[in-house]
Amino acid sequence: MILATGGTIAGSAESGTQAGYTSGRVAVDTMIAAVPGLPAIARIQGEQVANVGSQDMTFAIMIDLADRINTLLGDGVADGVVVTHGTDTMEETAYFLNLTVRSKKPVVLTGSMRPATAVSADGPLNLYNAVAVAADPDAAGRGTLVVMNDRIHGAHSLTKSNTTSVETFISPINGLIGTVNYGTTEYFRRPVRRHTCQSEFSLTGVTSLPRVDIIYACADMPADLVDGSVERGARGIVIAGDGNGNMNAATVERAARAAKKGILIVRSSRVPTGKVGRNVEIDDDHLRFIASDELNPAKARILLMLALLNKRSREEIQRLFYAY
């Protein structure tokens, strides 16, 4: 089953060589028709879930997507699912599905960096490769995957690294899951962290998620951003810290005050590689902070939102950051 949500893969422009275009314009059946080889590798069907640029992706759409995938895979209607999606927030939806789809069957996200109308559009081959991975029994049990530009990434590891290049996704945490070349797959590893069928998160009865904000740390950052989030009802704040999840002393103080009130403060990093460890330059034990470990700010926010759906202690939430 191919579930379409929009993105540049469904984008169109006035000409094949112009930089400007609009995401989420082409319907799923047109995208499928642009890949003539598909019927030879799988029995496929398309469904339009949304048609937005992924900068406009919402948790309402993500929840619908997870529910639909759980139904399709659980009822045996599909042996695998491909989600077409914009690349801007693809890592967030991939990670969300990695925690909320309860199946070993392959779930594969794909997209493109060039619109469907571009000269050398990258969408059709990405879609072909994504279907090949979703139809491959060996892809099962590897969590939610992202297939782009011949690479197979795991949801936990990948991040977007370039604003325009077709080689934009990298997996700085633990490396690639594998490669796929015109439909031929090769796997290097399985995900290290818990996912999908081993996940303890559930969306049963869930229609919205608690508010968690991200605050980007920088030199001489204004500490009152923390108060602004708390006043607007944030139940958690992820600090996209500098270096090893750092922030200036004024922000540490405001964040500690919020943590004392029960707001969950997670220290992540604006640096694209490396872990954020506990009690390095900031005394997490004393200040009641959580370290994001391997998760970048955008994914840390998703984990924290899902964690906040149930009553959990701070220690329990720290455990989740080490487990997922």
Ligand X SMILES: NC(=O)C[C@H](N)C(=O)O
- Binding residue for ligand X, selected from 13, 44, 81, 88, defined by CB under 6 A: 88
Cβ atoms 313, 220 nearer than 8 A: no
**CB closer to ligand X out of 169 and 201:** 169
Given the residues 30, 71, 84, 87, select the one marked as catalytic.
Answer: 87
Task: Tell me if 149 contacts ligand X by CB under 6 A.
Answer: no
Q: Which two tokens stand for residue 288?
A: 């009641």
In the complex, the smallest distance separating the C-beta of residue 50 from ligand X, rounded to whole angstroms, is 11
- Is 205:309 a contact under the CB 8 Å cutoff? no
Q: Which of residues 235-294 bind ligand X (CB under 6 A)?
A: none
> Where do we find the tokens 């989600």?
83
Q: Which is nearer to ligand X, 87 or 292 (CB)?
A: 87
Say whether 87 counts as a known binding-site residue: yes
* Half-sphere CA count of 139, side-chain side, radius 13 A: 30
Note if 87 is an active site residue.
yes
- What minimum distance in Å lies between the beta carbon of 90 and ligand X? 7
> Any residues with CB less than 8 A from the CB of 302 and at least 6 apart, and which?
92, 95, 96, 99
* Shortest Å distance, C-beta 144 to ligand X: 17
Indicate the residue among 165 and 208 with the shorter CB distance to ligand X: 165
- Tell me which stretch binds ligand X (CB under 6 A): 83-91, 237-245, 273-281, 306-314: 83-91
Query: Does the protein bind ligand X through residue 86 (CB under 6 A)?
Result: yes
Q: Count of residues binding ligand X (CB under 6 A)? A: 11
Residue number of the CB atom closest to ligand X: 86
Q: Flag whether 117 is marked binding.
A: no
User: Is 47 strand, coil or helix?
Assistant: strand
Minimum separation from the CB atom of position 157 to ligand X (A) = 19
Residue ranges of alpha helices (H) inside the chain are: 28-33, 38-41, 59-74, 90-100, 123-134, 224-231, 249-260, 284-287, 297-307, 314-323
> Environment class of residue 273 by beta-carbon count within 10 Å: exposed (0-12), middle (13-18) or buried (19+)?
exposed
17 included as an active-site residue: no
Q: Does 123 bind ligand X (CB under 6 A)?
A: no
Helices (H) and strands (E) in the chain, counts: 10, 14
88: annotated binding-site residue? yes
Binding track, positions 36-75, relative to ligand X; x by CB under 6 A: -----------------xxx--------------------
Asked whether 70 and 103 are in contact (CB, 8 A), the reply is: yes
HSE (side-chain half, CA atoms, 13 Å) at 195: 23
Q: Which stretch binds ligand X (CB under 6 A): 38-46, 81-89, 150-158, 301-309?
A: 81-89
CA geometry: angle at 175 spanning 180 and 266, to 5°?
130
Instruction: List, as own/partner pairs, every contact residues 120-124 make where C-beta atoms lie below 8 angstroms and the sequence separation is at least 24, other chains included.
Output: 122/149, 122/166, 123/8, 123/9, 123/31, 123/34, 124/31, 124/34, 124/35
Residue 143 interacting with ligand X (CB under 6 A): no
Q: Which of 8, 159, 185, 251 is catalytic?
A: 8
Bind-site residues: 54, 87-88
Q: Which residues bind ligand X (CB under 6 A)?
A: 7-8, 23, 53-55, 86-88, 111, 113
Active-site positions read 8, 87
